[in-house]
Amino acid sequence: MKNRLARRESCLGVSLMFCCPQVVEMLGYLGIDWILLDCEHGSLTLADVEHMSIAAKSAGISVIGRPATNSSPDIMAMMDRGVDGVQVPHITTPEEARRAVDAVKFHPDGNRSLAIGTRSSKYGIGQTLSQYVSTSNTNSIVVLQIEDKEAIQNLDDILETTGVDVFFVGPSDLSQSLGYPGKASEAPVRNVIDQILTRISDAGKSSGIAGNIESIIERRSKGVSYLYTHLNTILENGVANMTHS
């Protein structure tokens, strides 16, 4: 997934807010590229994140965790559970962006706390601690959420942050920050989203966004690479197709 994002190829994901490893497996077998485990808005615990990450691994898909906050302890705790990367909410300044990367990466790329025996280190089996550091720094994925007016004002500086794989536009919170809560598809918000995505692309970076199935298809056609919808959206569409057929 990291290599595909670097090439700005599309990666399709599904967000889950509750614990169900079996659903993770099914999504993998259905051809989804990755899942988002949402600890910001969902009921997932860190133990749930670890169990569902194991399910993702068995199904051959990548897993991104969204920590409850953009604090270093929350980010590091998710990384230790064995997620492939994190999607960090509410990044508003270049300083916050740098701290997020530092929480994901070990020295010399960051200052993440180092421990052997975690799931992310394969429990310390079959590799040295220094090998784990190198592999994690190389393979870990960092996604930063741009979803506040302050972030738009600081966007150029945020985009200069090294070690970031995707700059993600959060449509729901952005709509609220712009004074149109829940109205991301209305022109004033949509225009701002389009401008942000263009600025990310012009900077040579990979962009991301969430939405319904129709908007995901549209954004994919316009070069957005990190895309996802929510499990409830997929269920709602599937049930509607069944009951209306």
Task: Quote the DSSP letter at residue 113.
Answer: -
Question: What's the token pair of residue 222?
Answer: 């316009």
Identified catalytic residue from 41, 51, 90, 244:
41
Long-range contacts formed by 68-72: CB under 8 A, 24+ apart:
68/39, 68/40, 69/40, 70/96, 70/99, 70/100, 72/99, 72/102, 72/103
CA distances to 57, 88, 121 from 137, rounded to whole Å, are: 19, 17, 12
Alpha-carbon distance 164 to 23, whole Å?
Answer: 29
**Span between the terminal Cα atoms of the chain, in Å:** 36
Question: Does the annotation mark 41 as catalytic?
Answer: yes
Q: Which residues are catalytic?
A: 41
